[in-house]
Structure 1
Amino acid sequence: MKKILFFGILACILAFNACKKSSDDQGGDTEEPVKIDTVYLNDRVALASKVKVAFGISTPGMIPAATTASGTPVLVENKNIVDAISGRYIVIKPNFSYYESTIKGYYVSIVGSSVHFEVDYSNGRGFYRQAPQVQNSLFREGDYVDSSIIVKLPKYIVGDTLSLSYAAYDSLGHISNKVLAHVRIHSQNGIADYQDFVGSWKVNRKTDANGVWQNYYVPDTSRTHFACESGKVQYCLNNQQSCFEGIAAITAVTKYDLMFTDQNEYSELFSATLSRVVMDNSTCDKLNYGTQTVSKLEKGGWSFNPETKIMTIVVDNNGIEYDNFYSYQVKILEMTPQLVTLVRLDNTSYTVELVKK
């Protein structure tokens, strides 16, 4: 069974509240004032003073110019738009076409501001960094070439797009070329827009290729052909062998729960079991199996557009360094306080049903 990459690496919560009407002492209506800590994206200077960049120190002026010395690292610009949710995190994964010396950090700036941030991964400044993973031969001890640039956004943002520029620097003082990252900011919704989403949900069922509803938790069985040679089981390799059919693996989803909070936080808990035939423990009369359980907990933010009925999910794992930051959108087809049906915009071949827990 295919796991539905449902909700799923940068993102954030909250935007400014929709204005509400209230009665004053004279019986008239007045609009609720804009929150005093609201930041407008067209004011890049104010925005730069409100964001926090992981392991970064704010410094006046532009990003230092690229060096021309031999061995200077070269960054490749990613043309894809990065999604983020206000109040949460922008996550950017730099890509290199070339680097030689140990990468130590980055210079990061909001385009249009008058400051830049010097990111030094060897110093922790209020952010957590995941323990180093097993590195291949390209990586050297202390190298941060695989690190993400993480920017914590303020809660109340008016506007929807901005650009960041960044450059890498290495242990020899080389500074790379400067590249851009384009970011789309999604706002927190008013209470009327998101109230039905708030709470815990279970992924219940999905449609098949013919539009027929299927139980999401029915195990998926794969079969293959085996042969018995000298009293031992092996896979059937050719037509000369005497082969028999058997179950090669059984995959079963055991849990797929989602949670949405009224602070636009999102979490997804997925677990499944995989049973595979163990050839060394199997006999010609009986196939034996080994079972492993796979679990995954991901966190991020969500935003909903009540006019288009489109929800944006951004998995940012609360700004902690993981490899899998991503975002996607789903279209809400039907919604009640107890049930939601939806379809992913990047894969409309099936519909998913959620039920309130």
Structure 2
Amino acid sequence: MKKVLLLSAIACMALYACKKDSTSTSTPLTETPADTIDPIALSAGAKVGYGAINVKGTFPLASSDANAPVLDTLYNGRVYDAISNRYIVIYPRVSAGYLAGYYLKINGADSYFKIDYKTGYGLRKAQQKNLFGLRDNNGDNSDSSIVIKLPDHLKGDTFSISYAAYDTLNRISNTITAIVNVIASADSTDNSKIIGDWQVSRTKYNNDDWQIISLTDSSNYNYYTCSKNMLQTSEDSTDLHLPDNIGSGSFIFSFGTMNLFASAQSYKNIQLNHETSSCSNFVYDIVNSGDYLTKGGYSYNAATKTITVIQDEDGTGSYITTLPLKVKEFTSSKMVVYTTYMSEGASHDEINQITYLELLKK
């Protein structure tokens, strides 16, 4: 079972190496970076979840009413990583008041979006499909998300967003600013170099030996003898030597067109059934199994030898992570990538662990 367990251990390339975006504890920026993406074109090309409508005009101002919603200013200036054609997911925090929706503006645009959670909820219940990740809080949307689907082939690297909450009486909260860092290679052909399915074959930590993770792993071998064509445990090393448990699993990274990334993990554990097995027919029952698919976006920069993966679950994820993978080796049939982890409290540039993965092209 070691290899099956290892699959889970590397599901996020050593979980601590991933940066959680939407609830990151990093210090927000004190200054807003200059926007380098055309805000008018972006506002026209972006899609905002929950049936949001694009309204021409000036962004609404905060209400003077003391009962208006209040957004937590801790999140003002927070930076969110993003990839073209993928999703930005923001979970604002409401300090006071009831939330009916949001006003959202891509700064510099000549319009803003109105997000109505009542409309979004109705659409979701009617269609039972992904409408950009609406979380059902039984009418309380105080922790609902803002989800933006970016257009493809964005030129530039940053833009900023302003958003404010409103309640059923259209009382408007304070405005919060979010900074979006769009990760992309300067060479538009870079992504095509790694497109395809890659089987995770081996892994190692620091300078340890490589461990194969994609093959079947058997454990808890026992000796058996036959009695009336039934298996009986034995201590004689000359008798049948059979595994009691067999674990198997696989882990595949898929880099697709339009910046689509997916990781598919599967595992299965089977156990020898002593009662139904015979001396000529060994019966194994499945005791546990699972298949997990994680979706997100990616961008490959050949100049810096970095693949950036952002897990966004097609806009439905509440745990959005950014994972930079450094490419150590790269051929048409094999990649070796690695990531580093610095433990909490470690001094600057002190690396505690390096996790390597060997990927074989399928």
In the alignment, does 2:119 pair up with 1:123?
A: yes
Offset of 1:332 from its aligned partner? Answer: 0.4
The residue number in structure 1 matching 2:12 is 5
Larger fraction in strand: 1
In the alignment, does 2:355 pair up with 1:350?
A: yes
CA distance in 1, matches of 2:113, 2:218: 50
CA distance in 1, matches of 2:298, 2:260: 6
CA distance in 1, matches of 2:166, 2:84: 29
CA distance in 1, matches of 2:208, 2:268: 26
Q: Assess, with a 3 A threshold, how the Cα gap between structure 1 residues 305 and 106 changes in structure 2: closer, same or farther.
A: same
* 1:104-253 equivalent positions in 2, closer than 5 A: 104-124=100-120, 128-129=130-131, 139=137, 141-187=138-184, 190=187, 192-217=189-214
Offset of 1:142 from its aligned partner? Answer: 1.7
Offset of 1:152 from its aligned partner? Answer: 2.0
Offset of 1:107 from its aligned partner? Answer: 0.9
Q: Assess, with a 3 A threshold, how the Cα gap between structure 1 residues 48 and 191 changes in structure 2: closer, same or farther.
A: closer
CA distance in 2, matches of 1:269, 1:336: 22
Counterpart AA for 2:295: K
In the alignment, does 2:244 pair up with 1:269?
A: no
Q: Assess, with a 3 A threshold, how the Cα gap between structure 1 residues 68 and 190 changes in structure 2: closer, same or farther.
A: same
Contiguous gaps of at least 5 residues in structure 2:
1-5, 22-34, 220-244, 271-284, 343-352
CA RMSD for the aligned pairs? 3.5
Larger fraction in helix: 2
CA distance in 2, matches of 1:45, 1:132: 26
* Equivalent in 328, 333, 342 of residue 333 of structure 1: 328
Question: Aligned with 1:143: secondary structure?
Answer: coil
Offset of 1:172 from its aligned partner? Answer: 4.4
> Matched residue pairs, number?
281
CA distance in 2, matches of 1:306, 1:109: 34
Offset of 1:115 from its aligned partner? Answer: 1.8
Q: Assess, with a 3 A threshold, how the Cα gap between structure 1 residues 257 and 66 changes in structure 2: closer, same or farther.
A: farther
Q: TM-score, normalised by structure 2?
A: 0.67
CA distance in 1, matches of 2:163, 2:246: 43
In the alignment, does 2:255 pair up with 1:257?
A: no
Larger deviation, residues 58-67 vs 300-309: 58-67
| Superimposed CA distance per residue, residues 329-353 of structure 1 (whole angstroms, 9 cap, x where no aligned partner) | 1100001111110112446522111
Percent identity between matched residues is: 29
Q: Assess, with a 3 A threshold, how the Cα gap between structure 1 residues 99 and 251 changes in structure 2: closer, same or farther.
A: farther
> Is the 2:53–2:115 Cα contact (8 Å) retained in structure 1?
yes
* Equivalent in 267, 281, 299 of residue 295 of structure 2: 299
Offset of 1:73 from its aligned partner? Answer: 3.1
Question: Aligned with 1:263: secondary structure?
Answer: helix
Q: TM-score, normalised by structure 1?
A: 0.67
Contiguous gaps of at least 5 residues in structure 1:
11-39, 222-249, 276-288
In the alignment, does 2:42 pair up with 1:47?
A: yes
Q: Assess, with a 3 A threshold, how the Cα gap between structure 1 residues 331 and 122 changes in structure 2: closer, same or farther.
A: same
